[in-house]
Amino acid sequence: MDASSLLGFLPGGRRAPGIKQLLSKLESYLPPDDIERVREAYEYAEAAHSGQKRRSGEAYITHPVAVADILAEVHFDGPTLMAAILHDVVEDTASSKTEIAERFGREVAEIVDGVTKLDQIQFKNRAEAQAESFRKMLLAMVRDIRVIMVKLADRLHNMRTLGAMPATKRRTIARETLDIYAPLANRLGIHSLKLELEDLGFRTLYPTRYRVLEREMKRSRGNQKEFLPRITDNMRQALGRAGIAGQVEAREKHLYSVYSKMRRKKISLGEIIDVFGFRIVVGSVDECYRVLGLVHGLYKPMPGRFKDYIAIPRVNGYQSLHTTLFGPGGMPLEVQIRTEDMHRLAESGIAAHWKYKTGEGDGASHADQAREWLKGVMQLQDGSAEELVESVKVDLFPDKVYVFTPKGDIMRLPRGATCVDFAFAVHTDVGNRCVAAKVDRRLVPLRTVLRNGQTVEVITAKGAQPNPAWTNFVVSAKARAAIRHFLKSLQRDEAIELGEKLLGSALEEFAMRYRDIPRARLEAVAKGLGMADADDLLTRIGLGERMAPLVARRLLPDESGTAAPSSAQAPIAIAGTEGLLVDYARCCFPIPFDPIAAFLSTGRGVVIHRDICPNVSGSRKQADKWIPVVWEKLPHGLFSVGLKVEVNNRTGVLAAVAAQIAATDTNIEHVLVTAQQDDEHSTITFEVKVKDRTQLAKVVRAIRHMPDVQKVERMMA
């Protein structure tokens, strides 16, 4: 029996079936309620498409009915059939998704919507890698695999009725079918559908090659006629003698697979076409191997041609034993041996799981059924599960999004990727300089999360820089690394600046000024210390990895090179604008104009403490790590400071204190701790931001005399 008729994806050329035939087909497997719903969908679609015609002149409604009919052949469930009938109404008529949801339920509306979205994206770039990405994008867009099934059936019917289209359009559609839809059907294991799509695509795209091949196949079949019955009989008898029940069939070769084999393996037509194909279907795996032994006993096997796809199934779950034998007169015989279950899976793949199931078993959700299929295939895979995960799981349960560049190239990004991720995926320079983005030609914020099938355009500006805030939303490793790299270089600039300050201050000790030191001298000292250049040296000083006084000493003219440091190092002025390399200790919260000291910490730069901080007196031992600092005359910025407020336990007291603080134009950063002291008193710790001690004093004054405030104290470790 021919494979395609097994499942019902019948070859083209038939007249489109009417709704009556469809409904009577459904009677064999769907309950009356479901059939009634399908009829309602038909009536709705017919009204919506009324007046529309297909290019062939037929009423448009014949197309969706035919699509539903294809799916009914393989016993798809009611919602799938309704969606098939409605699949073009959103695209082509005034109906909306909401309306379909109201009339036919969300499930149907979602499938229709999915098909409509797939129809909207177009495959333009023909490169092979692009085709693979495109197939993945289609699958990624689909949450319910029934969408793909409707789409495949839609494509099949369009291919069957392609004749009415103009030649160029026909070729484009055929090309797309061969590049995208036939491999998609194959990936999902729906062999019969794949074969027909390939056959139709091949015939349209290469009519001459198709005709030549067809003629040759006919000739070859003529040659085979006298041998075929003899060989099948021999095999059947061998099975009978061994007591194995099974079917032996001569297998037809499909034109497109013959053609692809010729191209792929660069072999002549004769080498492929004069080959007999057989399929033996038996009851159990055990019998498969026994049958293998039997046929090897009948005819000599060709060395190197045996393949055990039972032990090691193909990626889409296909299982069989393949062997090639030397037949009568040396004619090669290709034999496939499999069980009935394997045969069913080989023919219908994932579609087998959507067949309408009577009784129990149809309670499972469709995602569950997809998983069930996948699980089955995965169990078969055993050792080589990784390949499967790569090629199937990624497709069905995607963790990637696929979007287009304005040129139509497809970019693959991790799920949740934003415009910024896209920009960095295009090129680091594009990411670094991006300022805005357009999605499907509309301007959107850079943080916009991308969805499958969108076209993304990045707008860049000269001199634009990555924003550190981007790290809050980018998801791709590339974007993250690039932004981090940029921030590091930013930090380097700040480190150099601080290094210059520290070195300058150290030099004052020796009555020298930083700006009097020739650059060449600095470079020489840097090299002498094993560093790349002067900037490298300054960076390390700024980062606290090199002690400024020691470097300063090396910069002295030779004669004073051993001079002991004089009295005190000149203090560095802290402006509050130093950036990442000056940190304010959170043990004592220094603010202008507290007396301060600075600790040079390796890799972190300078950490400012109040000089009364216990941590300062505690680590005086590392005297060389402490450097004198003072506040600049007019420091900039806001500084954190902690306030411990002891209050009476009364409802609303926290809010009252907070309001009072806010009334002084002071921002509360955190309410840090509320420690219960006893039944009557609690301590609330506020962290507020102030300019200097004057503002802090204002805050303290504002709350100190509130009726429920017992005590206000500045926090210290």
Residues involved in catalysis: 91-92
Q: With respect to Mn ion, which residue has the nearer C-beta, 88 or 287?
A: 88
CA distances from 316 to 150, 280, 285, 337, 342 (A): 20, 21, 19, 18, 12
d(CA 277, CA 257): 13
Q: With respect to Mn ion, which residue has the nearer C-beta, 115 or 627?
A: 115
Q: Which two tokens stand for residue 330?
A: 């040396």
Q: With respect to Mn ion, which residue has the nearer C-beta, 174 or 281?
A: 174
* Residues between 688 and 717 that touch Mn ion (CB under 5 A): none
* Residues between 153 and 182 that touch Mn ion (CB under 5 A): 154
Q: Which residue stretch of 36-44, 151-159, 231-239, 374-382 sits at the interface with Mn ion (rule: CB under 5 A)?
A: 151-159
**Nearest approach, Cβ of 118 to Mn ion (angstroms)?**
11
Kindly state the number of chain residues that form the binding site for Mn ion, as judged by CB under 5 A: 2
Q: Which of 547, 492, 556 is nearest to 522 (CA)?
A: 556
* Residues between 486 and 505 that touch Mn ion (CB under 5 A): none
The answer to whether 398 and 136 are in contact (CB under 8 A) is: yes
**Nearest approach, Cβ of 182 to Mn ion (angstroms)?**
18
CB within 8 Å of 582: residues ≥ 6 apart:
498, 574, 605, 606, 607, 608
d(CA 711, CA 151): 74
Q: With respect to Mn ion, which residue has the nearer C-beta, 68 or 258?
A: 68
**Nearest approach, Cβ of 80 to Mn ion (angstroms)?**
14
Q: With respect to Mn ion, which residue has the nearer C-beta, 96 or 577?
A: 96
**Nearest approach, Cβ of 89 to Mn ion (angstroms)?**
10
d(CA 336, CA 685): 79
**Nearest approach, Cβ of 116 to Mn ion (angstroms)?**
10
For CA atoms 508, 512, 514, 519, give the dihedral sign: negative
Partners of residue 248 on adjacent β-strands? 280
Question: What is the strand order of the sheet 596-601 is part of?
Answer: 572-574, 626-631, 596-601, 605-610, 582-584
d(CA 350, CA 369): 9
CA distances from 584 to 488, 548, 591, 700 (A): 20, 21, 8, 21
Q: Which residue stretch of 43-51, 152-160, 226-234, 459-467 sits at the interface with Mn ion (rule: CB under 5 A)?
A: 152-160
**Nearest approach, Cβ of 30 to Mn ion (angstroms)?**
22
The answer to whether 327 and 227 are in contact (CB under 8 A) is: yes
Q: Dump the DSSP string for 244-264.
A: --EEEEEEPPPHHHHHHHHHH
Q: With respect to Mn ion, which residue has the nearer C-beta, 60 or 256?
A: 60
Contacts with Mn ion, 76-95, as mask; x by CB under 5 A: ------------x-------
Q: With respect to Mn ion, which residue has the nearer C-beta, 154 or 457?
A: 154
Q: With respect to Mn ion, which residue has the nearer C-beta, 50 or 284?
A: 50
When CB distances to Mn ion are compared, the closest residue is 154
* Residues between 655 and 674 that touch Mn ion (CB under 5 A): none
For CA atoms 367, 369, 375, 377, give the dihedral sign: negative
Q: Which residue stretch of 150-158, 345-353, 432-440, 673-681 sits at the interface with Mn ion (rule: CB under 5 A)?
A: 150-158
3-state helix/strand/coil string of 141-171: CCCCHHHHHHHHHHHHHHHHCHHHCCHHHHH
**Which single residue is written with the structure tokens 């210290």?**
716
**Nearest approach, Cβ of 177 to Mn ion (angstroms)?**
14
* Segments of 260-383 assigned E as strands: 276-282, 300-301, 307-308, 321-326, 332-339
Residue 508 makes contact with Mn ion by CB under 5 A: no
Which residues are at the interface with Mn ion (CB under 5 A)? 88, 154
